[in-house]
Amino acid sequence: MSNTTIVPFGPQHPVLPEPIHLDLELDDERVVQALPSIGYVHRGLELLAERHDFIEMANVAERICGICSFIHGQGYCQGVEQLMGVEVPPRAVYLRTVWGEISRIQSHLLWLGLSADALGYESLFQHSWRIREMLVDIIEETTGGRVIFGVCKVGGVRKDVDDAVLKAVKGRMREIQTSFNEIASVFREDPTVKKRTVGVGVLTAEDAHALGAVGPVLRGSGVARDTRKLGYAAFGELDWEPVVEQDGDCYARCIVRVREIDQSFDIIAQCLERMPDGEVDVSVKGKRPKGEAMFRLEQPRGEVCYYISADGKKNLARFRVRTPTFANIAPLVHMLKGCELADVPVIVLTIDPCVSCNER
């Protein structure tokens, strides 16, 4: 007879902003097995594609998740544009890239804060979110929304940003980067952070590859794979390299995100430098999407796949999303095997679980 006990983790848990449930089978304080169960946030969003027309659907796609909202909207719009053969003006492409990267920094800062909270480092949590608010201000000034931007539409973007505003944004980005560097050194060097994260929840490169990990989890294990390298939006024209860390533990995943924030600041600066002039949208009146498209984008949490199928009607025939958190749950269950019960919240957070993306 086994001496294991089962401890439920979630769906409502202090470190989790969102509901996910894990049954932890424990031998003393050590996790033998973790069984995830999901479905608390399932809404049936994909079927809404059959009820809303393809232009309205961009708004629904943006609400797959409130943290990576812009990138979901961008992914959907790019797919439909590809099916309709619409060429988006270069200024719109660059604006999309800038907003996408701002939302990546905002998401990573949010995650750094939440993970600091899971470590019990409350003041670091508050500082991360203080810096995040400065970015949210820029988002609000340029798009009008704080978390749901609502600027991406089929055929381009809804709003142009004045060059004067862009120049101001460039200056403020530098200020934000300076304040970020102050707290980044805490994540990099602080002994308490290191004590909780170094060597915890190790995922080797082979396991990460075999279990299909994506995003910072994969890059933290030493695999240099970033979907932005496919060159969608303006990424093909910019100068950057994927961030990779070798150790595969919680600390490595944390450092990947810290370094990615720095990289995103650099990408935004490059975009603002090269920002082309001209229109920001093209009319798609009278055009209807037809055919099938499958493509990938890099979200803050990793690679997201979209499948769109349309038969020339107002509504899409099928809209399917494979989100990064779903891909990262199998590696998470693997990482949890053999860890201490007290480390479970830290490990769960390092995959940056976004449950509403995951379940849609």
Partner 1 sequence: MSFLKKSPWVLHYAATSCNGCDIELLACLTPLYDVERFGIVNTGNPKHADIFLVTGSVNEESRKVVENLYAQMPDPKVVVAIGACALSGGIFKDAYNVYGGIDKVIPVDVYVPGCAARPEAIIDGVVQALDILEQRGKARKRQRKMVAA
Element (H, E) at 8: strand 5-9
Find out whether 157 is annotated in a ligand binding site: no
How far is Cα 351 from Cα 360, in angstroms, rounded to an integer?
Answer: 18
Find out whether 305 is annotated in a ligand binding site: no
Find out whether 81 is annotated in a ligand binding site: no
The CA dihedral of 84, 90, 93, 97, to the nearest 10 degrees, is: 160
Paired tokens of 31: 């996790």
How far is Cα 36 from Cα 178, in angstroms, rounded to an integer?
Answer: 40
Residue 129 CB, shortest distance to partner 1, in Å, is 4
Find out whether 46 is annotated in a ligand binding site: yes
For residue 306, list its beta bridge partners.
295, 321
User: Closest Cα to residue 251, out of 203, 211, 196, 289?
Assistant: 196
Which amino acid is present at 354? C
Closest CB to partner 1 among residues 17, 242: 17
How far is Cα 26 from Cα 33, in angstroms, rounded to an integer?
Answer: 7
Can you give the binding site for partner 1, defined by CB under 8 A? Answer: 11-15, 17-19, 39-45, 47-48, 51, 59-60, 63-67, 69, 110, 113, 125-127, 129-130, 132-133, 136, 145-148, 354-356
Residue 59 CB, shortest distance to partner 1, in Å, is 7
Sort 55 into a burial class: Cβ within 10 Å, 0-12 / 13-18 / 19+.
middle
How far is Cα 286 from Cα 53, in angstroms, rounded to an integer?
Answer: 13
Find out whether 152 is annotated in a ligand binding site: no
Residue 137 CB, shortest distance to partner 1, in Å, is 9
Give me the sign of the Cα torsion angle 213, 216, 219, 224.
positive
Closest CB to partner 1 among residues 106, 221: 106
Closest CB to partner 1 among residues 65, 223: 65
Closest CB to partner 1 among residues 89, 300: 300
Find out whether 254 is annotated in a ligand binding site: no
Residue 152 CB, shortest distance to partner 1, in Å, is 15
The strand pair at 152-153 and 290-299 is best described as unpaired
- Note the helical H segments in 85-230: 90-119, 122-143, 163-189, 191-197, 205-211, 215-220
Residue 275 CB, shortest distance to partner 1, in Å, is 28
DSSP 17-30: SS--EEEEEEETTE
Residue 52 CB, shortest distance to partner 1, in Å, is 8
Q: How far apart are the first and last CA of the chain?
A: 40
Residue 255 CB, shortest distance to partner 1, in Å, is 23
Closest CB to partner 1 among residues 50, 311: 50
For residue 245, list its beta bridge partners.
none
Closest CB to partner 1 among residues 27, 137: 137
How far is Cα 355 from Cα 360, in angstroms, rounded to an integer?
Answer: 8
Residue 21 CB, shortest distance to partner 1, in Å, is 9
Closest CB to partner 1 among residues 163, 175: 175
User: Closest Cα to residue 351, out of 93, 1, 22, 73?
Assistant: 22
How far is Cα 342 from Cα 83, in angstroms, rounded to an integer?
Answer: 49
Closest CB to partner 1 among residues 3, 12: 12
Q: Which residues are annotated as a binding site for Ni(2+)?
A: 65, 68, 354
Q: Which residues are annotated as a binding site?
A: 46, 65, 68, 321, 354, 357
Q: Which residues are annotated as a binding site for Fe cation?
A: 68, 357
Q: Which residues are annotated as a binding site for Mg(2+)?
A: 46, 321
